A and B are shown apart, each in its own frame.
Chain A
Amino acid sequence: MNRGLSRGLAIGGVVLLAILLLVALAAPLLAPYDPDERSGRPFARPSAEHLLGTNDVGHDLLSELIHGGRVSLLVGVVAALVATLIGAAVGVAAGYARGWVDTVLMRAVDVVLSLPTLPLTIVIGVFAGPGLGTQILVIATVMWAGVARELRAQVLSLRERDHIQALRAMGASPVHVVSHHLLPAVTPLVVPQFVLATKTAILLEASLAFLGLGDITAKSWGTMLSLAHSRSAFLTDAWLWWVLPPGLAIALTVLAFALLGFAFEERARPSLRVRSRPARSGPAPRRVARGDGPALVIENLAVTYTGDAAAVADVALTVSAGELVGLVGESGSGKSTVAAAAAGLLPLAGEITAGAVLVEGRDIATLPADELRRMRGNRIALIPQEAMSALNPVHPVAEQLAEAVLVHRRVGKQAARRRAAELLTLVGIDPGRGRDYPHQFSGGMRQRVVIAMALANDPAVVIADEPTTGLDVLVQEEVLALLDTLRRTIGIALLVVTHDLPVIETVADRIVVMKDGRVVEAGPAAQVLTAPEHPYTRLLLGSALRLQVPEPAP
Chain B
Amino acid sequence: MGAERSAPHGGDTLRHGGAKVGQYGVVVWAAATLNFALPHMAPGDPVQYLYGGDSLGLAPELVAQVRAGYGLDRPLAEQYGAFWTGLFTGDLGRSVQYNRPVVDVLLEYLPWTVVLVGVSTVLALLLGVALGAWAAWHRGKRRDAVAVAAVLTLDSMPGFWIGMILIAVFAVGLGWFPSYGGAAIDGTGAAWLADALSRMVLPGLTLTLATFGGFFLLTRAAMVTVLDEPFIRLARAKGVRDRSVALHHALRTALLPVSTNLTLVLGSLLSGAVVVESVFAYPGLGRLIFEAVSARDYPLLQGAFLLVTLGVVAANVLADLLYPLLDPRVRRGGARSAPGEVTV
Known: A229-B164, A243-B165. A9 touches B149 (CB 8 A): yes
- Which of A22-30, A118-126, A169-177, A494-502 participates in binding chain B? A118-126
Q: Tell me how far the C-beta of A464 lies from the nearest C-beta in chain B, rounded to whole angstroms.
A: 11
Interface size on B, residues (CB 8 A): 107
Tell me, yes or no, whether B343 is within 8 Å of chain A by CB. yes
Q: Tell me how far the C-beta of A240 lies from the nearest C-beta in chain B, rounded to whole angstroms.
A: 8
Using Cβ atoms and an 8 Å threshold, which residues of chain B touch A116? 267, 270-271, 305, 308-309, 311-312
Main secondary structure of the interface of A (DSSP, over half): helix
For the complex, give the distance between the alpha carbons of A375 and B239 in Å: 7
Tell me, yes or no, whether B208 is within 8 Å of chain A by CB. no
B275 and A211 within 8 A (CB): yes
Point out the residue from A114, A123, A393 that lies within 8 Å of B328, measured CB to CB: A393
Q: Tell me how far the C-beta of A498 lies from the nearest C-beta in chain B, rounded to whole angstroms.
A: 17
Known: A127-B49, A392-B249, A428-B343. A262 touches B152 (CB 8 A): yes
A437 and B329 within 8 A (CB): yes
For the complex, give the distance between the alpha carbons of A393 and B253 in Å: 8
A442 and B27 within 8 A (CB): no
Point out the residue from B38, B304, B313, B328 that lies within 8 Å of A439, measured CB to CB: B328
Using Cβ atoms and an 8 Å threshold, which residues of chain A touch B344? 428, 478, 481-482
The 0/1 profile, CB within 8 Å of B marked 1, for residues 239-283 of chain A is: 100011011001111110011001001000111011010000000
For the complex, give the distance between the alpha carbons of A364 and B302 in Å: 68
For the complex, give the distance between the alpha carbons of A152 and B264 in Å: 18
Tell me, yes or no, whether A403 is within 8 Å of chain B by CB. yes
Residue of A nearest to B316 (CB): A114
Using Cβ atoms and an 8 Å threshold, which residues of chain B touch A253? 156
A117 and B267 within 8 A (CB): yes
Q: Which of A229, A239, A251, A392 has the most CB of B within 10 A?
A: A392
Point out the residue from A8, A9, A374, A435 that lies within 8 Å of B239, measured CB to CB: A374
Tell me, yes or no, whether A49 is within 8 Å of chain B by CB. no
Using Cβ atoms and an 8 Å threshold, which residues of chain A touch B224? 269
- Which of B57-65, B69-77, B94-102, B333-341 participates in binding chain A? B333-341
Tell me, yes or no, whether B167 is within 8 Å of chain A by CB. yes
Known: A243-B164, A439-B5. A377 touches B158 (CB 8 A): no
Tell me, yes or no, whether A235 is within 8 Å of chain B by CB. yes
Known: A117-B271, A235-B179, A243-B161. A373 touches B241 (CB 8 A): yes
Residue of B nearest to A128 (CB): B42
Tell me, yes or no, whether A56 is within 8 Å of chain B by CB. no
Tell me, yes or no, whether B211 is within 8 Å of chain A by CB. no
For the complex, give the distance between the alpha carbons of A554 and B6 in Å: 10
Residue of A nearest to B266 (CB): A116
Using Cβ atoms and an 8 Å threshold, which residues of chain B touch A119? 270-271, 274, 289, 304-305, 308-309
Tell me, yes or no, whether A111 is within 8 Å of chain B by CB. yes
Known: A5-B140, A234-B167, A436-B336. A250 touches B157 (CB 8 A): yes
For the complex, give the distance between the alpha carbons of A111 and B118 in Å: 24
For the complex, give the distance between the alpha carbons of A119 and B238 in Å: 51
- Which of B78-86, B121-129, B192-200, B227-235 participates in binding chain A? B227-235
Using Cβ atoms and an 8 Å threshold, which residues of chain B touch A377? 237-240
Known: A392-B249, A442-B4. A234 touches B329 (CB 8 A): no
Q: Tell me how far the C-beta of B156 lies from the nearest C-beta in chain A, rounded to whole angstroms.
A: 4
Residue of B nearest to A107 (CB): B26
For the complex, give the distance between the alpha carbons of A123 and B298 in Å: 9
Using Cβ atoms and an 8 Å threshold, which residues of chain B touch A375? 239
Known: A115-B309, A378-B239, A439-B7. A127 touches B38 (CB 8 A): yes
Using Cβ atoms and an 8 Å threshold, which residues of chain A touch B31? 115
Tell me, yes or no, whether A35 is within 8 Å of chain B by CB. no
Chain B stretch 206-258: residues in CB contact (< 8 A) with chain A: 221, 224-225, 227-242, 244, 248-249, 252-253, 256
Tell me, yes or no, whether A361 is within 8 Å of chain B by CB. no
For the complex, give the distance between the alpha carbons of A270 and B329 in Å: 27
For the complex, give the distance between the alpha carbons of A117 and B343 in Å: 55
Chain B stretch 261-311: residues in CB contact (< 8 A) with chain A: 263-264, 267-268, 270-271, 274-275, 278-279, 289-290, 293-294, 296, 298, 301-302, 304-305, 308-309, 311
Tell me, yes or no, whether A87 is within 8 Å of chain B by CB. no
Q: Tell me how far the C-beta of B231 lies from the nearest C-beta in chain A, rounded to whole angstroms.
A: 5
For the complex, give the distance between the alpha carbons of A245 and B256 in Å: 40
For the complex, give the distance between the alpha carbons of A539 and B278 in Å: 76
Q: Which of A116, A129, A207, A343 has the most CB of B within 10 A?
A: A116
The 0/1 profile, CB within 8 Å of A marked 1, for residues 158-200 of chain B is: 1111001101100010000001000000000000000000000
Chain A stretch 120-170: residues in CB contact (< 8 A) with chain B: 120, 122-124, 126-129
Tell me, yes or no, whether A210 is within 8 Å of chain B by CB. yes
Q: Tell me how far the C-beta of A378 lies from the nearest C-beta in chain B, rounded to whole angstroms.
A: 6
Tell me, yes or no, whether A98 is within 8 Å of chain B by CB. no
Residue of B nearest to A5 (CB): B145
For the complex, give the distance between the alpha carbons of A430 and B106 in Å: 59
For the complex, give the distance between the alpha carbons of A110 and B339 in Å: 38
Known: A116-B308, A239-B165, A390-B230. A229 touches B239 (CB 8 A): no
Residue of A nearest to B142 (CB): A5
Using Cβ atoms and an 8 Å threshold, which residues of chain B touch A481? 344
Using Cβ atoms and an 8 Å threshold, which residues of chain A touch B158? 203, 206-207, 210, 222, 225, 247, 250-251
For the complex, give the distance between the alpha carbons of A475 and B4 in Å: 13
For the complex, give the distance between the alpha carbons of A2 and B179 in Å: 43
Using Cβ atoms and an 8 Å threshold, which residues of chain A touch B296? 126
B43 and A129 within 8 A (CB): yes
Using Cβ atoms and an 8 Å threshold, which residues of chain B touch A395? 248, 252
B230 and A384 within 8 A (CB): yes
Residue of B nearest to A265 (CB): B221
Tell me, yes or no, whether B326 is within 8 Å of chain A by CB. yes
Tell me, yes or no, whether B67 is within 8 Å of chain A by CB. no
Known: A115-B30, A128-B42, A389-B229. A382 touches B234 (CB 8 A): yes
Q: Tell me how far the C-beta of B261 lies from the nearest C-beta in chain A, rounded to whole angstroms.
A: 11
A residues contacting B by CB (< 8 A) are 1-2, 5, 8-9, 107, 110-111, 113-120, 122-124, 126-129, 199, 203, 206-207, 210-213, 222, 225, 228-229, 234-236, 239, 243-244, 246-247, 250-255, 258-259, 262, 265, 269-271, 273-274, 276, 343, 345, 348, 373-378, 381-382, 384-386, 389-396, 403-404, 407-408, 428-430, 433, 435-437, 439-445, 450, 453, 456, 472, 475, 478, 481-482, 553-554
Known: A1-B145, A348-B140, A390-B233. 10 other contacts (CB 8 A): A107-B23, A118-B275, A126-B301, A207-B271, A262-B152, A345-B233, A373-B241, A433-B338, A442-B4, A472-B1
- 8 residue pairs, one from A and one from B, having the closest CB atoms: A118-B271, A247-B161, A377-B239, A254-B156, A386-B230, A428-B344, A377-B238, A382-B237
List 24 contacting pairs A-B, 8 Å CB cutoff, sorted by A. Answer: A9-B145, A111-B26, A115-B31, A118-B275, A119-B274, A126-B298, A211-B293, A225-B160, A228-B164, A247-B158, A251-B153, A255-B153, A274-B233, A276-B242, A377-B237, A385-B230, A390-B234, A391-B231, A392-B252, A429-B342, A440-B335, A442-B5, A450-B234, A472-B1
